[in-house]
Each structure stands twice: as C-alpha cells, then as structure tokens.
Amino acid sequence: MFKNITKSNIPITKLVKHINEVLLLNEKEEKVIKEVFTPRRIKRRQFVHHEGDVCKYANFVVEGCLKMYMVDENAKEHILQFAIENSWIGDLGSFHSGEPSKLYVEALENSVILQITKKNLYDLYEEYPKFNKIFRIMKEKLIVEYQNRILQNISSTGEERYLDFLNRHPDLFNRISNVQIASYLGVTPVFLSMIRKKLAKA
C-alpha cells in the first residue's frame, strides 16, 4: 500500500510522542508511523526544496533548525517560518495542490527530519482514519498561528512583534541571527538593533 518506505535506526520516538499529544496511538498505529516516514539528514545551508519545485513532503523536525522563506524581485529574503525540534515545515499549498512552490526551505543547522509523501499521507488517512483527525487538528493549529501572525503584523509595532517573538520562542532566539529575526519580523536589521538597544536601557 505505502510507497517509498525506508527502514532506519534513527529514533522516531519524538514524532510518536508529538502525535500522542494530539490523540493517543495504539501499537499498530505507532508501527505504521515508523514505516511511512522516511528519515533524512540535512546539512547546514542545505535545501529541503527550492522555489519552483513542487513540495513533495511534509517534514517533521527531529533535530536542528530550518527556515522557510521567499525571495522577492529585489533579492530580499522574507522569512515565513522557523522550525526546530518537534515542529513541522513545508509549503502546504504546494504539497496539497501539486503546484510549484514560491518558497525555499533551508537548514540553519545540521538537522534530521522525517518526511512523508502526499501519497503515503493520503493512504494513511484512508487506512487509519484516526490520522485524518490528527493531522487536521495539527493543520488547524498551524492556520490559527499564521492568522495570529498576520493580525500582529498589521496591528503591532516592530517592538511589540520583537517582544512577542522573545516570549514565544525563547529557545529559538539564540539559534538564529539578528538578520534572520529581522526578516521574520518584517523590520530592517538596523531597526531591530535600535529596538534591542532601547530595551537594554529600559
């Protein structure tokens, strides 16, 4: 039934634990998870996919840190998402529609990810309906996060967005550069430096 199955010694316990936080899996369901996800090691600065490619995989981060971003006509980078351990990354629109992606996914650190193809994911839904509910809940949570970020970007100051970033992602702050933080927040590195100096004096 499932295609591109790869056996590996890379632990998948983080993914099983992550899914169990949504709905508990039984032994058979845990076993099939270990079969349908393919492990992949990604070196720092290596791409998971490029702009123009169709996003073929949903990616769960076991170890490391990745970013998803677009590059505009002026070669300016706009970061949409960072993903560290126990989170997902990938162009959902391209993954489900089969259309070319406008985004890049790149590793900021040496990373280990677990990938599942669209075919295997849909087969998983069909064979084990519980997974349909599990991944729907995960996607709904992600949509809410994106919605809240859009609202914040149009209603908050750069300083407020920075403070919220520190509050929401304390473990991420020391793993990425100020330039990348500025890109994610939609401010310039100079403006971010000014915010940090101001807060340091407060």
Indicate whether 136 and 193 sit together in one domain. no
Domain region containing 148: 13-154
Indicate whether 108 and 164 sit together in one domain. no
In which element (H, E) is residue 95 found? Answer: helix 92-97
- Assess if residue 198 is contained within a domain: yes
Mean confidence (pLDDT) of the chain:
92
Indicate whether 194 and 106 sit together in one domain. no
Point out the domain boundary residue: 154, 170, 192. Answer: 154
φ, ψ for residue 93, nearest 5 deg: -60, -50
Widest pairwise Cα distance in the chain:
61
Specify the number of domains making up the chain: 2
Closest alpha carbon to 192 in 166, 155, 171: 166
The Cα angle at residue 53 between residues 52 and 56, in degrees rounded to 5: 150
The answer to whether the Cα torsion of 170, 153, 18, 43 is positive or negative is negative
DSSP 7: -
Indicate whether 187 and 105 sit together in one domain. no
Mean pLDDT of 76-86: 95
Indicate whether 102 and 59 sit together in one domain. yes
Q: Work out the number of other CB atoms within 10 angstroms of the CB of residue 82.
A: 22
Indicate whether 39 and 127 sit together in one domain. yes
Indicate whether 35 and 110 sit together in one domain. yes
Indicate whether 173 and 84 sit together in one domain. no
For residue range 117-157, what is the model confidence (pLDDT) as tens digits? 999 999 999 999 999 999 999 999 999 999 999 999 999 99
